[in-house]
Structure 1
Amino acid sequence: MAFAPLQPASAAGYAELTGEDSKPLRRLRVALDARFIALILSDHGPTRTRLLAQLAGSLPAAEYRFLRVTVPPQATRSHLTTLISGSAGLVQTEDATGTYLHPTAYDLLRRFEADAVCSYTAGRRTLVIFDEAHLLSSAGLHLIHSLSNITAGYDLAVALVLAATTSFGMRLRRPAWRALASRTGAVARVAVER
């Protein structure tokens, strides 16, 4: 399934309709359409939240399945995998016979990957939005990198948006994170609104 690229007129029309400054929003949409990770950097939490809501509202629901994960402090890779799978509705606590299930993080990640590929073949790319991404541990950043490489056919099945404080941008400059940083297509640095 081929997804339509961003039409410049639609982004401009959105800005005219809402009367909002669409430059950061437009950069984020172009990054997602180009199959890159979009990154929102702002030290003001409500500003990040507003931009995430605008971005989700501006993307066509027929083409994207939206999942949102708020990264908790000191979250392990396993915990993040459970949160992502839970937001996709893939975590089951018992089977049809009532037997308690405790899937491993690996099983949950494979379920999520299969679900994202299935969604993609049905015409909807999975967009995972990570709020408070500056709280990601090294293992969490490895998970983000793994998610950014889920493919269906020859296209990426998962799109990612990371919303974090400005210090997160500095973390991505470290040599260990160059691979993830190279997948970042647009960085929207947003100042505090007055």
Structure 2
Amino acid sequence: MDNRVEDALNRLMQLLSSREVGVVVGEAGTGKSTLLDIFLNRVSNTRYRVIHLPIPQSKPRELYRAIAAAVGVNTSWFGADALKVVDLLTYSYLESGRFNLVLIDEAHILTPACLNELRLLTNATVKHEAVITLVLLGQPSLASTLKLPAMIPLAQRIGAWVALGGLSEDEAMLYMDWQVKAAGGRRYFLTGC
């Protein structure tokens, strides 16, 4: 694993203790999904309840229903709004002793209204301790949206920005060798067969 990925992972792991908002941006194919997979493998399921939304809803109410469903609440009767979901996630923490890790992939498709609603989730606290860590992953348009004046309240809560760029030719060969080796093959690109 290269230093860039390790640095990004370290920043995400630090978010777990600070329970702030994290943002990971990069063009398609720059490794956001790979970074997320490695990160999730390092997250302790006994310490954190992982709520992963791979494709978020574009309306706040539907986004809240998706979060509630991920926690196991029957959303057909659940009136979804920010306060109810905050209560649900707080109760989940109190019941299980596990902090909530909310990961939203493809967050660039969220509207500013949805992003502002997500900020409300970060208000959930127990004894002055945040019970939710929010990580948004998306393409560079997410960064542009978060820099809008209306997004200042959310942007102020961002504890880690991770920007993933493309790989150099050497990095691409190392990555392909790593993938081939992980799949049970032998190194190819750096050994010349």
TM superposition score normalised by structure 1: 0.77
The one of 118, 121, 125 equivalent to 2:91 is 118
Instruction: Give the deviation of 1:61 after TM superposition.
Output: 1.7
The one of 57, 70, 78 equivalent to 1:87 is 70
1:29: which partner in 2?
13
Counterpart Cα distance in 2 of 1:147 and 1:179: 13
2:176: which partner in 1?
none
Counterpart Cα distance in 1 of 2:39 and 2:90: 23
Q: Which structure 2 segments of 5+ residues have no match?
A: 173-193
Is 2:25–2:32's contact at 8 Å kept on the other side of the alignment? yes
- Greater Cα radius of gyration, structure 1 or 2: 2
Which protein, 1 or 2, shows the higher relative CO under an 8 Å CA cutoff with sep ≥ 6? 1
Check if 1:43 corresponds to 2:27: yes
1:159: which partner in 2?
133
2:164: which partner in 1?
190
1:65: which partner in 2?
49
2:63 is aligned with what amino acid? Answer: L
Q: C-alpha deviations, 1:13-46, integer Å up to 9, x for none?
A: xxxxxx4531110011113322211111111257
Counterpart Cα distance in 2 of 1:64 and 1:20: 26
Q: Which structure 1 segments of 5+ residues have no match?
A: 1-18, 94-101
Structure 1 residue matching 2:63: 3-state secondary structure: helix
Distance 1:165 1:92, change over 3 A: closer
Counterpart Cα distance in 2 of 1:169 and 1:46: 15
Instruction: Give the deviation of 1:53 after TM superposition.
Output: 1.2
1:76: which partner in 2?
59
Structure 2 residue matching 1:105: 3-state secondary structure: coil
Structure 2 residue matching 1:53: 3-state secondary structure: helix
Counterpart Cα distance in 1 of 2:92 and 2:100: 7
Q: C-alpha deviations, 1:92-143, integer Å up to 9, x for none?
A: 54xxxxxxxx43223x851x32332233233210101000000111221122
1:139 is aligned with what amino acid? Answer: A
Q: C-alpha deviations, 1:146-176, integer Å up to 9, x for none?
A: 1111112211111111001112112111111
Counterpart Cα distance in 2 of 1:115 and 1:46: 35
Is 2:54–2:105's contact at 8 Å kept on the other side of the alignment? yes
1:171: which partner in 2?
145
Aligned length: 165
TM superposition score normalised by structure 2: 0.77
Structure 2 residue matching 1:189: 3-state secondary structure: strand
Counterpart Cα distance in 2 of 1:45 and 1:80: 26
Counterpart Cα distance in 2 of 1:81 and 1:169: 22
Is 2:23–2:136's contact at 8 Å kept on the other side of the alignment? yes
Q: Runs ≥4 in structure 1, deviation > 4 angstroms?
A: none
Is 2:56–2:105's contact at 8 Å kept on the other side of the alignment? no
Q: C-alpha deviations, 1:65-98, integer Å up to 9, x for none?
A: 101113347x1111111111111111254xxxxx
